[in-house]
Structure 1
Amino acid sequence: MKSFDIVTITVNSALDKSTHFRGLVPEQKIRCDEPRFDAGGGGINVSKAISRLGGTSLAVFTSGGATGKMLEELVAKEGIAFEAVAVESWTRESFVAVDDNTNSQYRFGFTGGKISDEESDRILETIAALKPKFLVASGSLNEGLSVNFYSKIAEITKKSKAKLIVDTSGEALKKALEVGVYMIKPNVGELAKLIGVERLELEEVNEAAKQIIAKGGAEIVVVSLGPQGAVLVAKDVYEFVPAPNVAKKSTVGAGDSMVGGMVWALSQNKSLKEVIRWGVACGSAATMNEGTQLFKSEDAKRLFEWLKNK
């Protein structure tokens, strides 16, 4: 198999479905427009974002049942190289519906099917066989997977000297930090939990991130501030980037787009100042599109130019 500088792993992949309707009425049949289908799940979205910036990656993801086959077809249609790890449980679906009468968005997510010990081992073996420069582990964990799953991936990347980017939350993230990773992207609430406090103010984010770095949990901590922008903290680096003011249509995939932009920039040997700006540009550009479409490359590039001197 061809080697890739960037590999993404999605254990809880999803077939994303989105539609429009007019008026939400209880106990009534809601007529919806023809649905749009997209390949989804954290790592897959990251690979899609990288592709839209002209980069290449290998997307490794679980695939089961008819929904899994459709997911594979959608990833192939995006022109993304992939390796699907077959699992018994059908690939989950997620559903986004927009009420055109109110412009309200409703997001429905289903839990992923159970992953057996044998299937878990097969995923880890697939990752161990690859030797990328950057490995992105993104998304929630399925039922049946230990909270140590991402920490097992961290052990693998330490041996191969790959730079591991983990985008998840809760105990799975805490366990990965115990081994040590290259980069994480928590929001402010998640960062507070990681250092054991109830909440953090913006002026406390830098010190909180440096606590994680000092303990060897991560080399780079990128903190998403939602509509305020984002902060990148490294050992001797602090970069705050405000989010550009754009017409927001959907926040689906914005975080994954942000990670994709940053990983692409890292693979292009960009400075950390540029890395965080590419991240914010891609994340903001994703909010300009409906449903589960992520971003258009021209929007991301235009926003990056605007952010260059911010």
Structure 2
Amino acid sequence: MAPVLTITLNPTIDIASEADLVRPTHKVRTSDERYDPGGGGINVARVVTELGGEAEALFLAGGATGALLDDLLEKARIPRRSFPIAEPTRISFTVHERKTGLEYRFVAAGPMVGPEELEPCLAFLREADNPWVVASGSLPRGAPPDILARMAETAVARGARFVLDSSGDGLAVTLRRARVFLVKPSRGELEHFVGGQLDERGIREAAVALVRSGAAELVAVTLGAEGVLLASAGGVVRMPALHVPVHSAVGAGDSFLGAMIFALAQGWTPEEALRLGVAAGAAAVLTPGTALCGREEVMRLYAETGQGERIA
């Protein structure tokens, strides 16, 4: 089977470090720095590969930081397709404060990307034969609001299963215009999509409505420490989170999605893929900084997950 193709239009170099105390004005001395290739789709590719699958990362990159991103992916042994842009790839920072255990995350908006810089990505998708295409992460500044919808239509037209994990226009325009196999909004992203706050019942009804409208076959709503909800034509499954010591929340959602895609691509049922996703999300919070889940920890936690509660 051809590898899972992941799309990251606004990738980042993730730098994680520690400091005794974060204070304004004063120099904050950091230690234990680590550099990781980041952005939703790139993280999904890293997780699929870590779990034993095959993935190929498609991303935009520019400037010296774009070259560094490519080097980090080379070291991670991730097959990739890089498309050049004029402005430099962004850098994001995470600082763990040792005295309080708090985590500070500084996420750059990223480069301005013109529509013409996105056309090569669409051209590549028209010729690609990957059966699974995952678009994950935010839209870069300047990107047309319908770019992910166009990518979904392109992938679906040639028979691929398209997976969406985005926010704002990237989520809303795609769901209203295209048809995707799986969408993974967080609770906040789903509330923004529907235009109001949602309780447990409202979340369930909104997810089911997306399935019934044909916008998505599967809707996985991540609820943080409250677990996850999966809606499909067969009903709704609710699965609690695994409670583990939290070292960092960075990458938990990407680990969840990467594990689900790995499992679905292997032919697992959606419910079993959901279990693996929950295990991967829990494994990710056990790791420091921008590190993602590790296979051994994922499989250990997978054995501890239940079957979930079918509630509709």
Scaled by the length of structure 1, the TM-score of the pair is 0.96
Gaps of 5+ in 2: none
Answer yes or no: is the 8 Å Cα contact 2:115–2:144 preserved in 1: no
The alignment partner of 1:238 has SS state of strand
How do residues 208-223 of structure 1 correspond to structure 2 at under 5 angstroms? Answer: 208-223=206-221
Aligned identity (percent) is: 35
The alignment partner of 2:197 has SS state of coil
Gaps of 5+ in 1: none
Structure 2 equivalent of residue 57 of structure 1: 55
How do residues 149-228 of structure 1 correspond to structure 2 at under 5 angstroms? Answer: 149-177=147-175, 178-196=177-195, 198-228=196-226
Range with greater deviation from structure 2 (220-229 or 170-179): 170-179
Structure 2 equivalent of residue 10 of structure 1: 8
Matched, 1:290 2:304: no
Residues 233 and 309 from structure 1, CA distance in 2 versus in 1: closer, same or farther, beyond 3 angstroms?
A: closer
The alignment partner of 1:222 has SS state of strand
How do residues 36-55 of structure 1 correspond to structure 2 at under 5 angstroms? Answer: 36-55=34-53
Scaled by the length of structure 2, the TM-score of the pair is 0.95
Shift of 1:280: 0.8
The alignment partner of 2:304 has SS state of helix
The alignment partner of 1:190 has SS state of helix
Deviations 1:150-193 (A, max 9, x none): 11111101211111101001222111112111111112232233
How do residues 193-272 of structure 1 correspond to structure 2 at under 5 angstroms? Answer: 193-196=192-195, 198-272=196-270
One-letter code aligned to 1:190:
E
Counterpart-to-counterpart distance in 2, 1:25 and 1:165: 41
One-letter code aligned to 1:182:
F
Counterpart-to-counterpart distance in 2, 1:153 and 1:26: 43
Deviations 1:19-48 (A, max 9, x none): 111122322111111421000000000000
Deviations 1:171-228 (A, max 9, x none): 22111112111111112232233334x2211133222211111111111000101101
Structure 2 equivalent of residue 95 of structure 1: 93
Counterpart-to-counterpart distance in 2, 1:207 and 1:30: 46
Counterpart-to-counterpart distance in 2, 1:90 and 1:195: 34
Of 100, 105, 122, the match for 1:124:
122
Answer yes or no: is the 8 Å Cα contact 1:274–1:308 preserved in 2: no
Answer yes or no: is the 8 Å Cα contact 1:266–1:275 preserved in 2: yes
Range with greater deviation from structure 2 (223-232 or 233-242): 233-242
Range with greater deviation from structure 2 (18-27 or 214-223): 18-27
Counterpart-to-counterpart distance in 2, 1:26 and 1:118: 41
Answer yes or no: is the 8 Å Cα contact 1:46–1:256 preserved in 2: yes
Q: Which runs of 4+ in 1 moved over 6 A?
A: none
Residues 99 and 223 from structure 1, CA distance in 2 versus in 1: closer, same or farther, beyond 3 angstroms?
A: same
Answer yes or no: is the 8 Å Cα contact 1:42–1:139 preserved in 2: yes
Counterpart-to-counterpart distance in 1, 2:52 and 2:271: 20
Shift of 1:92: 0.4
What is the RMSD computed on CA atoms of the aligned residues? 1.3
One-letter code aligned to 1:72:
D
Deviations 1:118-139 (A, max 9, x none): 2111121122221211100000
Answer yes or no: is the 8 Å Cα contact 1:229–1:242 preserved in 2: yes
One-letter code aligned to 2:36:
D
Counterpart-to-counterpart distance in 1, 2:53 and 2:302: 16
